[in-house]
Amino acid sequence: MLTETKLDTISAIRNRRAIRSYGPERLEKHVVEELIDAAIQAPTAVHREPWAFAVIQNRERLRKYSDEAKALLLAQQQATSFFEGHEPQALAVLSDPEFNIFYDAGTLIVIGCTAGGPFVEADCWLAAENLMLAATAKGYGTCCIGFAVGILNTPDVKRELGIPEAGAAVAPIIVGVPKGPLPAGVRKPPVILSWLS
Ligand SMILES: Cc1cc2nc3c(=O)[nH]c(=O)nc-3n(C[C@H](O)[C@H](O)[C@H](O)COP(=O)(O)O)c2cc1C
């Protein structure tokens, strides 16, 4: 059974925001399945459908991955390139033992692949956007967690998630019931470099 959608497509696009505060509710299995079903409707180069999914609904495990991710990011100093000009704040956040890179969301859906290929990452990110818009339309919040990519691609975690050696975690997306006011969307006007006619 499909759960109700509350928004039309354009409203879902405009209402989707990175949500960083979540209620304690656990997403039911059929909701996660519906979001994954929306994800796999994405366009896919050469119709390869290279995506594969890992679902984590265990807050303790997510907290453990968060702690390991922070340590890895600090050790690799990836934060400096990741934050481009916001290094002090990034390092402070990553050094805070209370900070959870998954914002205490109860569900992480990792979109990844079982083998590489020229457009595999593009396919996975298109699937990720479909998933986030479907979640928004159903009243759930989401956020991409780039901070998690490094830890999810370590051999141990890949093994735990069932990702084969040749595969990778590409797009980690947290999902949950948003808590508190929704953030406003802020965008610069689009840069139109040319419009030839
Ligand atoms: C590839 C990618 C990685 C991201 N990684 C993180 C992250 O690790 N932590 C986080 O809080 N937000 C992350 N975000 C969310 C962005 O910060 C957010 O989309 C941006 O600030 C724009 O806000 P909006 O999505 O609410 O419009 C990521 C977004 C993308 C596309």
**10 CA from centroid of ligand 1 (Å):** 20
The atom of ligand 1 lying closest to the CA of 147 is 8
Section 3-8 average pLDDT: 79
Q: What is the pLDDT of residues 143-163, one digit of tens each?
A: 999 999 999 999 999 999 999
The atom of ligand 1 lying closest to the CA of 17 is 26
Closest CA to ligand 1's atom 30: 144
Q: Which residue's entry shows tokens 């109860």? A: 106
CB of 146 shorter than 6 A to ligand 1? yes
Kindly list the structural domains of the chain, giving each domain's residue range(s) and its CATH number in brackets, ordered by start: 24-176 (3.40.109.10)
Instruction: Quote the pLDDT of residue 2.
Output: 57
Q: What is the pLDDT of residues 73-98, one digit of tens each?
A: 998 876 567 677 777 788 889 999 99
Q: Kindly tell me if the per-residue pLDDT of 31 is higher than 60.
A: yes
pTM for the whole thing? 0.95
CB of 147 shorter than 6 A to ligand 1? yes
